[in-house]
Chain A
Amino acid sequence: MSIGASNPEYVNARVRARRAALFADEDYRKLIRMGPSGIARFMEETEYEREINALGARFSGVDLIEYALNRNLAKHFHDLLDWSEGRLYDLIARYLRKFDVWNVKTIIRGIYTETSSDEVQNDLIRAGEIDDSTIDRLLEVDTIEDAIETLNATMFYEPLLEAFDTYEQTGALVPLENALDRAFYENLLADLGRPQEGPEALYVEFLEAEIDFRNARNALRLARTGADLDPAAYYIDGGVLFTESELSRLVTDYDELVSHIADSRRYGDTLSSALTQLREAESLIQFEHALEAALLEYADTLSSSYPVSVSAVLSYILAKEREVENIRAIARGREVGLSESEIEDELVIL
């Protein structure tokens, strides 16, 4: 499917319609005041009707909301891959493979902890590129070795195979999970080059931002906790914010790390308010939310500068992910009895 003409017009029209159907800020304000069953009932009257009805008999409360959200997300993102053709498919699939990574990780963890495949299945988000039949086969295998063998047609096969030796020696899942993440991020920018203008240049810029923010997040966490881990092992290549040596140096000095981000030409302005907060505040959560909001806003700007391109799809994907995460945060927050203002702090609202 990756050769031939692409059809951005068609995909754009559909995506924009769905974008418009997402929850508005007022809806969140309403949801914050509801309990889990209220939220489920509210969702039943919207977009999520089919999922809530399908799962309503088996689950209840927050679990019902969570699984319905996952399933709905998977449905919409799967549609995106279904509609798009050619170049557009390639660009969308690059980003959506992150759900493949999530699914494979979940399945491997399930095998490792000997969880029944039914339970694992509930936690999958079938939005990636790996098709359903492969995932079903993955759910049936009993050993990690067989699972890797099942993936032999995908881009994760080689890296997993390499990491498998280390796994056998240490018995820890970390090398396998790192291999998956690495394969995903390396593929994200592979053979896209550095286009200078047009929507694709902005798409590359966005993917770079994704990598930069991931690096920044990891570095901040390491600097914050002072954990004795090798930062180079978690460094992801391809971003513009850090080089590997810079990152290793900065991790030891928290203030300098924040200044480094603030000084960067590309992100300094957009994130300035978030960075001031970060200097003073105690928690990273606020900063991470600011990062996400900045990405979201950026993607929105892109989709109006280049109406018929991959940008609109990208902005929809981000907005949808945000919606799912917000609803989940509200439901979980209500469940553990957080106050309304505390939950509001957890939400990413533009």
Chain B
Amino acid sequence: MFEITPEIAMAVLQGATLENFTDSGAAAIAVGLAALATGYAQRGIGSAAVGAMAEDDSTFGKGLILTVIPETLVILALVVVFLV
């Protein structure tokens, strides 16, 4: 894995000129960043939800809903893929 890292880096550096940077590539980055943001948001909400559930079982439903709300971020970002 580590032996080929320099080669990959070289390929990326040579390949990533502006001519090769297509619309779908940009869309992929957009979706990827949105997914990261979603993950970050869900990390906090998820751990709070688990904490609340540990104290009181009946909060399971609410916790689940609150946890998936940031999912909208990545779903909306996915729209970008269909626009390009």
Which residues of A approach B to under 8 Å, CB–CB? Answer: 7, 9-14, 17-18, 83, 308
Complexed CA–CA distance, A350 and B68 (Å): 38
Closest to B54 in A: A14
In the complex, 5 of the A-B residue pairs with CB atoms within 8 angstroms, ordered by the A residue number, are: A10-B47, A10-B51, A11-B51, A14-B51, A308-B44
Q: Tell yes or no: B45 within 8 A of A by CB.
A: yes
Q: Tell yes or no: B78 within 8 A of A by CB.
A: no
Q: Are B55 and A17 in contact (CB under 8 A)?
A: yes
Q: Tell yes or no: B56 within 8 A of A by CB.
A: yes
Q: Tell yes or no: B50 within 8 A of A by CB.
A: yes
Min CB distance A84 to B, Å, is 11
Closest to B50 in A: A10
Complexed CA–CA distance, A11 and B48 (Å): 7
A13 / chain B contacts, CB cutoff of 8 Å = 47-52, 55
Q: Which of B45, B47, B51, B54 has the most CB of A within 10 A?
A: B51
A9 / chain B contacts, CB cutoff of 8 Å = 44-45, 47-48, 51
With an 8 Å Cβ cutoff, the count of chain B residues facing the other chain is 11
A7 / chain B contacts, CB cutoff of 8 Å = 47
Q: Mark B50-69, 1 if CB is under 8 A from A, else 0.
A: 11101110000000000000
Closest to A14 in B: B51
Min CB distance B15 to A, Å, is 35
Q: Are B47 and A14 in contact (CB under 8 A)?
A: no
Given contacts A10-B51, A14-B55, A17-B52, 12 further A-B contacts (CB under 8 A): A7-B47, A9-B44, A9-B48, A9-B51, A10-B47, A10-B48, A12-B48, A13-B49, A13-B52, A13-B55, A17-B55, A308-B44
A14 / chain B contacts, CB cutoff of 8 Å = 51-52, 54-55
Complexed CA–CA distance, A18 and B48 (Å): 14
Closest to A17 in B: B55
The 8 A-B pairs with the shortest beta carbon distances in the complex, nearest first, are: A13-B51, A17-B55, A10-B47, A9-B48, A13-B48, A10-B51, A14-B51, A13-B52
Complexed CA–CA distance, A17 and B45 (Å): 15
Closest to A5 in B: B43
Complexed CA–CA distance, A13 and B44 (Å): 11
B54 / chain A contacts, CB cutoff of 8 Å = 14
Complexed CA–CA distance, A263 and B47 (Å): 45
Closest to A11 in B: B51
B45 / chain A contacts, CB cutoff of 8 Å = 9
Complexed CA–CA distance, A10 and B47 (Å): 5
Complexed CA–CA distance, A18 and B56 (Å): 10
Min CB distance A273 to B, Å, is 36
B48 / chain A contacts, CB cutoff of 8 Å = 9-10, 12-13
Complexed CA–CA distance, A229 and B56 (Å): 52
A308 / chain B contacts, CB cutoff of 8 Å = 44
B50 / chain A contacts, CB cutoff of 8 Å = 10, 13
Closest to A7 in B: B47
Min CB distance B65 to A, Å, is 15
Within 8 A of A (CB), among B30-53: 44-45, 47-52
Complexed CA–CA distance, A44 and B22 (Å): 69
Min CB distance A7 to B, Å, is 6
Complexed CA–CA distance, A10 and B56 (Å): 13
A83 / chain B contacts, CB cutoff of 8 Å = 51
Q: Which of A14, A18, A308 has the most CB of B within 10 A?
A: A14
B51 / chain A contacts, CB cutoff of 8 Å = 9-14, 17, 83
Q: Are B56 and A17 in contact (CB under 8 A)?
A: yes
